[in-house]
Amino acid sequence: MFEAMIPSALPIPTGLVYLSGVAELACAAGLLRRARWAGPTSVAVLLAVWPGNLQMALDVTSAAGPGDTSKVVAVWARLPLQIPMVWAVMQDRER
């Protein structure tokens, strides 16, 4: 499922999925420990995976049928949600 989110311009989609998963887990652990590097790294990971979320929204929209309106709305609604996540990570870093 996650491989389909990788934009076609990027190589080795399976490797990128695993890499992003490891990065997300490492960032989560760093944020829990309040490690200094975790905030900026989490922001970088959130920005790095954003194109995948965009790709998924484009793919779902192009494949959507007449009854898929809620699915299309849901995938497009995900995109701006990364903004408050970036803000929250940076706020936590400032404590």
Indicate the residue type of 78: R
Q: Tell me how far apart the 2 most distant CA atoms of the chain are, in Å.
A: 48
Looking at per-residue pLDDT, the higher value among 25 and 56 belongs to: 25
Q: Is residue 1 part of a domain?
A: no
Q: Encode pLDDT of 47-83 as tens digits.
A: 988 888 888 899 999 999 989 999 999 999 989 998 9
Q: Is residue 3 part of a domain?
A: no
Q: State how far Cα 78 lies from the chain centre.
A: 9
Residue range(s) defining the domain that contains residue 40: 11-93
Q: Is residue 2 part of a domain?
A: no
Number of domains in the chain: 1
Which residues are within 8 A (CB) of 72 and not within 5 positions of it... i.e. 6 or more apart?
57, 60, 61, 64
Burial of 80 (0-12, 13-18, 19+ CB in 10 A): exposed
Nearest to 45 by CA among 70, 33, 69, 28: 28
Element holding 20 (H helix, E strand) = helix 13-33
pTM of structure: 0.78
Q: Is residue 5 part of a domain?
A: no
